[in-house]
Structure 1
Amino acid sequence: MDTLELVLRRVTLRELRLLQAVARSGSILKAASEIGLTQPALSKSIRELEATFGVRLFDRNNRGVSVTPQGEILLRRATGVFEELRQAVDELQSLADAARGELRLGGTPAVCAGLLPHAIGAVRSNRPGFRFHVAELDSGKLASEVAGRSVDFGIGREHVEGSGGDLTFERLFDDHLFIVAGAQHPLASRRSVSLEETGLHPWVLPSANGAVTAQLEAQFRLQGLSLPDPAVTTMSMLVRSELVATHSFLTVMYGSILRFGNFPASFRVLPIDLPSGIPVGMFRVRGRTLAPSTEVFMQTLRDVIRPMQSLRAKHLRGKSL
């Protein structure tokens, strides 16, 4: 049997504690008195520890004992062992404490633009001890990051890769698209607008291959219409917002962004309700136990999204965006 295997079998945390006690007091008699052992029992434990490691840990003299260079090495490492255990206890207690915790979250760009910051603010108003690490990811990457446990759970639209395997998807709501104009746009103050009329005005849209444009195109097809050819295509939310706010452009935004995000007061939602939305929910690893703090945040998220279930254009038109 090699030395490491012998040490792992014979040495206990109690013996390392005794080693620390003797080194701290400089006397086996004094250490025995402090920890409630007899001197012979403590001396025997130290001799057995020295025999296991095959080195002398203490030099004995008339004034007591002094630590040898070999003993210093073991004491230093023993201190490290107890420090690691202390940190493990702290982390376990923190994990079990729903009043504090460290959460690693992933969200799609649309979620990160409104819903997720709103939910973080809501939970921290009651639990300021929470700490968050947020990653903005597209829906496909989000599912893979959750599966790889790089994040505790993800929030975004349902994705084919996230519908089975090691992941579960909890559907929270359907995020609908709404057509947005600037306050000075000819359609902005109208009480009634048809989808066909919007095609007579310039549009700024995300890329043609993106989920937003595909969803909008489907809405136009349902009414026997063709999607207007956009005057500008850009993935930049800032560019889209600026063009809508300062020029006569139309665009679409998800209801969660309009409901929870922070956008110019000059935005106006047109009175058009597009019937279908994309399923948005939470991804998590199947069967994985999450920290109580994570469960608290997930419940806060469920509470926050309740208004989204019945969100309509009339609600957003009455909201100062």
Structure 2
Amino acid sequence: MHQRINQRHLILFVEIVRKGSLAKAADELAITHSAASKSLRQLEEDVGDRLLERNRAGVTLTPSGEIFYRYASASLTALRQGIDMIAQSDQHARRAVLLGALPNVAVNILPEAVARFKARHPDIQVRIVTQTNRQLLMQLRLAEIDFVVGRFAEIDEMRGLHFERLYYETMALAARPDHPVFRIGGGVTLEKITEYPLVMPPLGTVIRPEIDRFFLSRGIADLPNVIETLSVEFGRAFVSISDALWIFPRGVLQADLDAGVLREVPVDLAGTEGAVGITTRSEPGLSRVSEEMLQLVRELCLRRARNLHDKKFI
């Protein structure tokens, strides 16, 4: 390692990539933004190449940055694993299950899975990470999490990973129950929908391309009024006080639809289906307790698949 590159440089760089923002990384690490910017600049000088490109959305990795991130994160992971190995020599050391999840699974599948798991293993910590699919898969490759539950990613993002499909899920379009869209005579069209603000997942998420392709295939290339978020809490609160419509995975919205908090807009969203399942690293290596949690998630996903299938024939 270059003599000027130290662990603090690596931690800062990896945190910037994970947060997608230098400012957020600085806040997380409790350092000033100027100090973070100076450290990043010094790191790039020592590496001899630009690692990050800044843009309006935050930061993105350059090709050199992609390579450096892989090894920087791996080195920090190896360091943590070494410390964990020392800690585990104590017979009372706490074990943990770490998994990544997209919102649709975090809402529907994981609460029951975790409840069952904790009933069996109250002493084992469970940590659930919710990020974009791309960020979760990167953490999975680096062994920072044990497995990911969510949608199938693009092929080029699945190298070195294994996906087990468990069920298919469509999008749903929802609004507050007294929304004016429900008073439109002659049925709701996609053109009418675009007259309202649309809450949807951000660019860069695995489900956003499905939504964009859906509208493009119906001749709608421009969505003029979009609010991007993965926050279920914000989406629910925002549509309840506005005329916005919320397009999101059905699994996230179903409980609110059933409870009458939201009402489904009667629009055919065929073509927005996506495979939901479990992604693991191709090589074996899960701990016994992580395997047990994975099996619980698998069973509940398969049960959901049966329920979705049965509803088609009701």
Tell me whether the two structures share a fold, i.e. TM-score over 0.5. yes
Report the equivalent of 1:252.
247
**Structure 1 counterpart of 2:244, one-letter code:** F
Report the equivalent of 1:76.
none
Superposition RMSD on alpha carbons, in Å?
4.0
How far 1:253 sits from its partner (Å)?
A: 1.5
1:298 aligns to 2:313 (yes or no): no
Q: Which moved more, 1:239-248 or 1:101-110?
A: 101-110
TM-score normalised by L of structure 2: 0.57
Please tell me whether the aligned partners of residues 167 and 304 of structure 2 are also in contact (alpha carbons under 8 angstroms): yes
1:278 aligns to 2:268 (yes or no): no
**Structure 1 counterpart of 2:128, one-letter code:** V
CA distance in 1, matches of 2:264, 2:278: 27
| 1:66-145 equivalent positions in 2, closer than 5 A | 88=89, 90=91, 102-125=96-119, 127-145=121-139
Gap change, CA 1:148 and 1:202, over 3 Å in 2? closer
How far 1:182 sits from its partner (Å)?
A: 0.4
CA deviations over 1:243-283 (Å, ceiling 9, x no partner)? 21122211111122124689985211223342232322222
Gap change, CA 1:189 and 1:297, over 3 Å in 2? farther
CA deviations over 1:73-108 (Å, ceiling 9, x no partner)? xxxxxxxxxxx99x659489x9xxxxxx63111223
Gap change, CA 1:309 and 1:219, over 3 Å in 2? farther
1:149 aligns to 2:143 (yes or no): yes
**Structure 2 counterpart of 1:254, one-letter code:** P
Report the equivalent of 2:66.
none
Q: Percent identity?
A: 21
| 1:48-63 equivalent positions in 2, closer than 5 A | none
Please tell me whether the aligned partners of residues 180 and 251 of structure 1 are also in contact (alpha carbons under 8 angstroms): yes
CA deviations over 1:89-128 (Å, ceiling 9, x no partner)? 9489x9xxxxxx6311122355435433343234334554
| 1:191-206 equivalent positions in 2, closer than 5 A | 193-206=188-201
Q: 1:242 aligns with which of 219, 237, 240?
A: 237
How far 1:186 sits from its partner (Å)?
A: 2.7
**Structure 2 counterpart of 1:132, one-letter code:** V
CA deviations over 1:138-163 (Å, ceiling 9, x no partner)? 22221222121111112222233552
Please tell me whether the aligned partners of residues 216 and 227 of structure 1 are also in contact (alpha carbons under 8 angstroms): no
Structure 1: any 5+ residue segments left out of the alignment?
1-83, 95-100, 316-321
- Aligned residues between the structures: 224
| 1:164-183 equivalent positions in 2, closer than 5 A | 164-165=159-160, 167-183=161-177
**Whose radius of gyration is greater, 1 or 2?**
1
Please tell me whether the aligned partners of residues 182 and 188 of structure 1 are also in contact (alpha carbons under 8 angstroms): no
SS of the aligned residue for 2:180 comes to: coil
Q: Which moved more, 1:283-292 or 1:193-202?
A: 193-202
SS of the aligned residue for 2:100 comes to: strand
How far 1:311 sits from its partner (Å)?
A: 7.1
Gap change, CA 1:114 and 1:168, over 3 Å in 2? same
Gap change, CA 1:139 and 1:265, over 3 Å in 2? same
Gap change, CA 1:201 and 1:141, over 3 Å in 2? closer
CA deviations over 1:1-20 (Å, ceiling 9, x no partner)? xxxxxxxxxxxxxxxxxxxx
CA distance in 1, matches of 2:257, 2:293: 22
Please tell me whether the aligned partners of residues 181 and 249 of structure 1 are also in contact (alpha carbons under 8 angstroms): yes
Q: 1:269 aligns with which of 264, 268, 273?
A: 264
SS of the aligned residue for 2:170 comes to: strand
SS of the aligned residue for 1:178 comes to: strand
Gap change, CA 1:203 and 1:153, over 3 Å in 2? closer
Please tell me whether the aligned partners of residues 105 and 152 of structure 1 are also in contact (alpha carbons under 8 angstroms): yes
Gap change, CA 1:122 and 1:244, over 3 Å in 2? farther
Please tell me whether the aligned partners of residues 110 and 257 of structure 1 are also in contact (alpha carbons under 8 angstroms): yes
How far 1:233 sits from its partner (Å)?
A: 4.3
Gap change, CA 1:288 and 1:248, over 3 Å in 2? same
Gap change, CA 1:179 and 1:209, over 3 Å in 2? same
TM-score normalised by L of structure 1: 0.56
